[in-house]
Amino acid sequence: MTEAQIDPRILRAPILPRSFYARPTVQVARALLGKILVHDRLGPGFGAERRAAGRIVETEAYLGTADPAAHAYRGVTTRTRVLFGPPGHAYVYLIYGMYNCLNVVAEAEGTAGCVLIRAIEPITSLEGSGSGPGRLTRALGITLKHNGQDLTRGPITIREPIDPEAGPTAVFETAVSPRIGIRQAADWPLRFFVRGNAHVSRSPRRIS
């Protein structure tokens, strides 16, 4: 049985501060590309195989009350409350009865806005693919119970890679496209991904 070796870069990677998230949503969506998403299932322990991590290679911005495709479009509800809360928290929801989607709350408290994490490039060995929003949460063990959690505290954190010269996506070009799978505001250019990266999702655009 081969123990998966953790890339030591994630052990030293500093957690992104709240100020990173307290910016316009589109800025946050672009800035999240290349950052490292970590789920430490044992907290600050040393259980190496319990730590799952990947590099973010695809995101989508959802612009709150100004965006017909956003959950926050119709204002505060039980579900969307976290979107209007302080930035740097996780917004997790269940879609199609089977998939959890992980979003990051952006903008100042009181203003809704979030970034959907759509794909990661594995750093640790993952159980399954990290390509696609439903698959990456399954691979990292992220569920509804993580909704509202503070991403500056963990166990889910997003980190700055310590050595930007290392790794296959360290130097990259950001590509832009319409968002995947929505019907409202279907042509808004709010999807961002690492051009040419093999782990970017290839979900078909929903039609009709």
- d(CA 109, CA 103) in angstroms, rounded, equals 16
Q: In 3D, which of 87, 103, 94, 60 has the Cα closest to residue 150?
A: 87
Binding part of the chain for DNA, among 22-30, 33-41, 152-160, 178-186 by CB under 7 A, reads 178-186
Per-position DSSP letters for 157-194, written without gaps between them = EEE--S-TTSSTTSS--EEEEPPSS-STTTT---EEEE
Strand partners, 139: none
Give the C-alpha distances (Å, rounded to integers) separating 137 from 5, 37, 53, 93, 109: 21, 11, 11, 11, 25
Binding part of the chain for DNA, among 10-18, 19-27, 168-176, 179-187 by CB under 7 A, reads 179-187
Q: Site size for DNA, by CB under 7 A? A: 40
CB nearer DNA, residue 77 or residue 125: 77
CB nearer DNA, residue 48 or residue 176: 176
- d(CA 92, CA 94) in angstroms, rounded, equals 7
- d(CA 40, CA 141) in angstroms, rounded, equals 10
Which of 60, 140, 146, 190 binds DNA (CB under 7 A)? It is 60
- d(CA 19, CA 99) in angstroms, rounded, equals 30
- Provide the minimum distance between the beta carbon of 125 and DNA in the complex, in angstroms, as a whole number: 17
Which of 2, 43, 78, 127 binds DNA (CB under 7 A)? It is 78
Which of 71, 85, 160, 174 binds DNA (CB under 7 A)? It is 71
- Provide the minimum distance between the beta carbon of 164 and DNA in the complex, in angstroms, as a whole number: 27
Q: Which residues bind DNA (CB under 7 A)?
A: 60, 62, 69-72, 74, 77-80, 91, 93-99, 101, 103, 114, 116, 129, 132-136, 144, 147, 179-183, 201, 203, 206-207
